Structure 1
């Protein structure tokens, strides 16, 4: 592997998210939608992985893999469960988690919003309300005031372009959009509000409205974070596939990029980095997307380890800022696929770094098999399984495969210092 292309400051981590991992996030909009009839969510998140209780043991798992970074989100719904009511115990909890990272040699990479928001926020206009940027900035400020001096990187929003990516690629069946609208209407009635909205179930006809709203929120958050600590690197993380064009497919590829990624990549020019979250490669021909022969992942696309390097290259070309891989992985119940995929993807990423693309670090999604939003517990992306009754964590072979990648890289760096 091309380990010496990666600097000794490179961040090796895993990425997690509060609602998907912690459990019982009952003051959130997603929890409310999971319990709405009808619901687009396959099942409720319930206790998830009980990560709110077992956070220290999970940090031990990450440190045991030889990692030096850990990405997690601060759940706004826990910190401000009612409008204007702040729970100091929740802030205490996340402060302990930050300190727990540092005690184990893990750089805390903090996401200020990973899709979920408080129920009251969703029922009061959500991100499109006039005061949404100010409300989110207040949340960012209170988090920064408590432990912002100890975190390493700040991600304002997670995948604000996800719905555009899903709709551009028709990843969900048409009936899903109808259920989404019915769910949101039912949630509004149950909440006694005019409308109900949540960040990762946005109706197709509101995409432009939400993109503008997310942009305002990101800017307000960045300003609040920088006001507390000007030297803290701040960025946004976007979902980005490696869009590849066959001869004659360039126009279709470029249209997809313009519709889904380019707004945020240009926005990132005012940030310190761009977060890249890549899971697949899409191939474009003159007449549309092309099905490529080969072994498939759980998303139904061909397994392509080079997709991460391709996504990173494009993200940097447009944004002109360094890249932090905030998520990368593979949805599959076959861990042998994951064990082979991760080393191959990192090797191609290292070659891209060697070619001159600045990459700050790599976070694998995810530490544990967890709640995967509308797909519930049916999708496996973790390095560890979680017993749904006892919540015991059990490492998969891919956990060791990733640990081996990190170890061999560090050995290469030690053998060739300065390269």
Structure 2
């Protein structure tokens, strides 16, 4: 029987702009410009073609308010990260993935904020204190205002500044961080920002889309090299969004395969050669030629946890260690989350049985957060957050995740130090 390896990480993920609060970047400016429009058009489906939101009658009041689309204080994780890490420790997690807000570190071109760098170093050190390996993402969709005004990811200067930013963070966090991700879901960002036009800078241009993709590849390669020059033992990778495509009738399978290639392969095929690991981010299955009867998240996404094994096998061909760096669902009523986590871990275990080198699972998200152009109403958190009071509360599914982690560890034939640290403090 296959068990999770002793070095396996069970964690949770966040991103700076979605949880920190008090940011001023290109997304903040976009929110100020777009909030009223998004509120007026909230009834339209923007859920990657997945259909209308199943819980529209329950969320429409919140979704029609402009404030839903302004991140503002978010969930004040910047000030409350110790409290949040303590909640993750309470359920026995041994890893935490967070991102650096570039605009805090370099608020003006070439000028670095030492206090912000110390803040993120202290976050990483606190992760260790609470028995959690920090996984740090350098870029999770947001740009400093000056970088956006310089042309964003179409600008060679912005690529150069990002590589310099990577070096600064590598030096600043070197004592505390081993695992780095350069980019988060570059394929999603390029599509949403340069083809669909629903994220800043809001273009709908195949030419700009292609230019941005090439720049993002250069940014990864430059950041990878710079981080490795700071510390050769750094483990540097990137995070890619992958989607399962299925077809019925069978005659449509070539179409599904072609779509899977277009959606999934561009960045992994070009960046795996300069990566120590690859992060899989998986949320839903897409159907070609038929309507799915699968359970759906609050965003209308097909819930198909078996897809983890399918996509891990697919990524394994690049010959790199893999981590599931995001996997989760919008589920305010906590109806499906426990089942989804358990079924996802079972699917990952199946991939391990097939010889796939998967080394961790990070649930998205630790906290209810600001879900980009959907705003606050989708609830992805293991921790329920009252957006008015910022009160935190572990959901029942969070405790279930903790119990699964304990069960998985009890099945391991070998226990390492980092496995035992977090389990010691699990309490219901």
Q: TM-score, normalised by structure 1?
A: 0.86
Indicate whether 1:67 and 2:93 are aligned. yes
Name the CA distance, whole Å, in 2 between partners of 1:47 and 1:147. 25
Indicate whether 1:282 and 2:286 are aligned. yes
Q: What's the counterpart of residue 203 of structure 1?
A: 204
Farther-moved stretch of structure 1 (146-155 vs 115-124): 146-155
Q: What's the counterpart of residue 193 of structure 1?
A: none
Q: What's the counterpart of residue 375 of structure 2?
A: 376
Does the CA-based 8 Å contact 2:368-2:383 persist in structure 1? yes
Q: What SS does the corresponding residue of 1:249 show, helix, strand or coil? A: helix
Cα drift, residue 149 of structure 1: 3.4
Does the CA-based 8 Å contact 2:190-2:213 persist in structure 1? no
Cα drift, residue 252 of structure 1: 1.2
- CA displacement, residues 311-343 of structure 1 (integer Å, 9 cap, x when unaligned): 2221222x2212111100112223021111110
Cα drift, residue 115 of structure 1: 0.6
Match of 2:245 among 237, 243, 246: 243
Number of residue-to-residue matches in the alignment = 384
How do 1:6-405 and structure 2 match up within 5 A?
6-26=4-24, 28-37=25-34, 43-163=69-189, 177=197, 180=198, 197=201, 203-205=204-206, 206-246=208-248, 247-266=250-269, 267-284=271-288, 288=289, 290-317=290-317, 319-405=318-404
Cα drift, residue 165 of structure 1: 6.4
Name the CA distance, whole Å, in 1 between partners of 2:260 and 2:273. 17
Cα drift, residue 23 of structure 1: 0.2
Q: What SS does the corresponding residue of 1:248 show, helix, strand or coil? A: helix
The structure-2 alpha-carbon separation of the partners of 1:45 and 1:416, relative to structure 1 and needing over 3 Å to count, comes to closer
Q: What SS does the corresponding residue of 2:167 show, helix, strand or coil? A: helix
Name the CA distance, whole Å, in 1 between partners of 2:190 and 2:259. 10
The structure-2 alpha-carbon separation of the partners of 1:230 and 1:291, relative to structure 1 and needing over 3 Å to count, comes to same
Q: What's the counterpart of residue 426 of structure 2?
A: none
- CA displacement, residues 17-53 of structure 1 (integer Å, 9 cap, x when unaligned): 0000000112x11111111257765510000000000
Does the CA-based 8 Å contact 2:382-2:394 persist in structure 1? yes
Farther-moved stretch of structure 1 (43-52 vs 304-313): 304-313
Q: What SS does the corresponding residue of 1:86 show, helix, strand or coil? A: coil
Name the CA distance, whole Å, in 1 between partners of 2:89 and 2:203. 36
Cα drift, residue 148 of structure 1: 2.1
Name the CA distance, whole Å, in 2 between partners of 1:160 and 1:256. 17
Q: What SS does the corresponding residue of 2:139 show, helix, strand or coil? A: coil
Q: CA RMSD in A?
A: 2.2
Unaligned runs of 5+ residues in structure 1 are 171-175, 185-196
Name the CA distance, whole Å, in 1 between partners of 2:307 and 2:138. 27
Q: What SS does the corresponding residue of 1:115 show, helix, strand or coil? A: coil
Q: Extract structure 1 runs of 4+ deviating beyond 4 A.
A: 37-42, 163-167, 414-417
